[in-house]
Amino acid sequence: MKPIQVGLLGIGTVGRGTFEVLMRNQEEIKRRAGRGIEIAMVADLDTARASQVVGHHAVVVSDAQAVIANPDIDIVIELIGGYGVAKQLVLAAIEAGKHVVTANKALLAVHGTEIFAAAHRRGVMICFEAAVAGGIPIIKALREGLTANRIEWIAGIINGTTNFILSEMRDKGLAFGDVLAQAQSLGYAEADPTFDIEGIDAAHKATIMSAIAYGIPVQFDKAYVEGISKLQAQDIRYAEQLGYRIKLLGIAKRVSSKGSREGVELRVHPCLVPTKRLIANVEGAMNAVMIQADAVGTTLYYGKGAGSEPTASAVIADLVDVTRLMTADPLNRVPHLAFQPDSMSDLPILSMDEVRTSYYLRLVVADEAGVLAKITGILAQADISIDAVLQRPGSESKQETDLIILTHNCLEAHMNKAMASIQGLESVLAPIVRIRKEELS
């Protein structure tokens, strides 16, 4: 049988990896897919670079539309990234009846509803294993492996750049800015690292996982997003003394307990995680996703979340899936978002005020009688129970001290109110540092 013909849009790091792994493992991949898979055409603005990678094996063009218009191409891989040109090309490929494989998390998190609807209408597949956690097959696990389960929560380290920065800050006691500069010079962090360090990239990925876990539309605009750029080295140190590591987590959690509105928490922010949890020990640029589900219990998925061949591994898995399923009736394929399109849920994404979690607070206070009593009094009035208190000499002077408070679970709205009152006390000398805490048990 003639090999499946693939058109590749954008041959940067991941495109090169995809081409090379497909060539290297072609026999094994063919035995699995039941057919050969060939990248027959590549579009890239840098045609010289593209030709260097593919040699005589594929036609190289600068115009992506030429790939989409080619009737011999069965699958289009989009590795351009971003929401602009990539969106137009993905929609054009769908309209042309091509199956699409993409690593573009931003595009799917923001415009997924439109793209999945178009693919459904046209009866083509849109596959995106590479969009979340790179080489970890987390989409497959959530959509198929865990299909028997009611997913309770997902918590993931899904951005390697920020995990690298946090690991270095903890390991070497360095400040955020110094580690970021080092990561940029080593090529780990982008020249413009905003999407990574401000949590946006992780929120794109968490948004996609929330949709698959709960059968809800992708709703990036409703995600709460807070990055790591304001994290201070002393909080990492204090957290360590209390038995916690600070990680940037992407969290999607179904909430249906008495007294709270039923819905989904969708949030990305730095988090204290008990050091004894496996996920707290995921260091450097590695990714990990922890899933709590009713039948299976806790599962943990670990691996490289970026890089040429790890991401190519996910792209090629999608190519094999499409190859196996392209002749199936579209209604018999695995649904894009795990649930049948007519069985999607309208479970709302909850506001942060409705989130219930525990907290780490660090206050710089005047070291004098009655200060602790005033603070704990305000917390008690807000129905916030204290779990632990730590007092350490402040760095600036002998008259002030660092007060670290760990709380039990409470409503974020209550915490905000209590923090505003505490901040108003004369003896509180600096803005309060608040980091959320997840026990993940």
Q: Which residues form the interface with ligand HSE (CB under 6 A)?
A: 159-161, 196, 201, 305-306
- Least distance (Å) between residue 155 CB and ligand HSE: 16
Question: Is position 258 annotated as part of the catalytic site?
Answer: no
Report the greatest alpha carbon distance in the chain. 83
- Least distance (Å) between residue 163 CB and ligand HSE: 8
- Least distance (Å) between residue 204 CB and ligand HSE: 8
- Least distance (Å) between residue 188 CB and ligand HSE: 8
- Least distance (Å) between residue 193 CB and ligand HSE: 9
Between 177 and 243, CB nearer to ligand HSE: 177
Active-site hit among 98, 105, 205, 247: 205
Between 203 and 349, CB nearer to ligand HSE: 203
C-beta of residue 398 within 8 angstroms of C-beta of residue 390: no
Between 80 and 365, CB nearer to ligand HSE: 80
Closest CA to 382 of 429, 435, 419: 419
Between 309 and 412, CB nearer to ligand HSE: 309
Between 101 and 415, CB nearer to ligand HSE: 101
- Least distance (Å) between residue 305 CB and ligand HSE: 5
* Phi, psi of 339, deg, nearest 5: -105, 150
Between 286 and 419, CB nearer to ligand HSE: 286
Distances (CA, A) of 252 to 16, 263, 308: 33, 10, 28
Between 130 and 428, CB nearer to ligand HSE: 130
Closest CA to 300 of 133, 109, 103: 133
- Least distance (Å) between residue 205 CB and ligand HSE: 7
Residues marked as catalytic? 205
